[in-house]
Structure 1
């Protein structure tokens, strides 16, 4: 009211109009935010992983970390490891992908235990566990094993490492 007296009666109606516009703008802004949140929940939920799937992945990655830590201790080396989840889209729920890749790491450990294998095996700095059935491959410092359910990859990987390193 003080503003109305100081500036005259026309200012009061202008201020009320501005307040009304601000209120309308706020309502539309809140509706836009609500619509954005709703669509993110609706469409994000459809593409998001289930809680069960996230837990399985966490458990598989933790198991791979433990297996690689053991391989590093045997080979006296530093190896980082990843799981290629895109290749494992059709992997059976009741079979551990990490355990299916463990034979490939076991082959590397066997190589490290034999003669001067440790010094050669230290060239491998990355291990990829995949679920595409592609078998063992070595490219630069990356050892990749494309697992098949029911096969642990020891024999194939050992033959590859013996011939490549």
Structure 2
């Protein structure tokens, strides 16, 4: 695990511990990278509930409660889907906060509307608050995934602070 991810994950853990909160992750294009960065921190079980890698649409439906209609209407890489993923992670985990990620890491799978590097993020609180962000990352698959993991961790810290 690289030092940048460890530092961000440690900072996230400190913020969660201060609040006595737990986090859950729902990841698609990052393949569990956020959960891996978090669990690289000794003691993270005190603030990390669990992570779900819901790469296939069927997993998004079955594990996170994403509606088939939403997937059909909006596509897996959409604001509506990451909102449902984030809410689903809160619902099934009982965590205080969640982060959800769905995107096109490449090298294939992109379209003119959603080119490679397109990634949607959503954060949810158990109180119902939701925040979403759309990012466009450059580079190959590994680069897009790493940028998405770093952005998710850093932005989760920001979401906690407000």
TM-score, normalised relative to structure 1: 0.28
**Structure ranking higher on relative contact order (CA contacts 8 Å, 6+ apart):** 2
TM-score, normalised relative to structure 2: 0.28
Higher strand share: 2
Larger Rg: 1
Higher helix share: 1
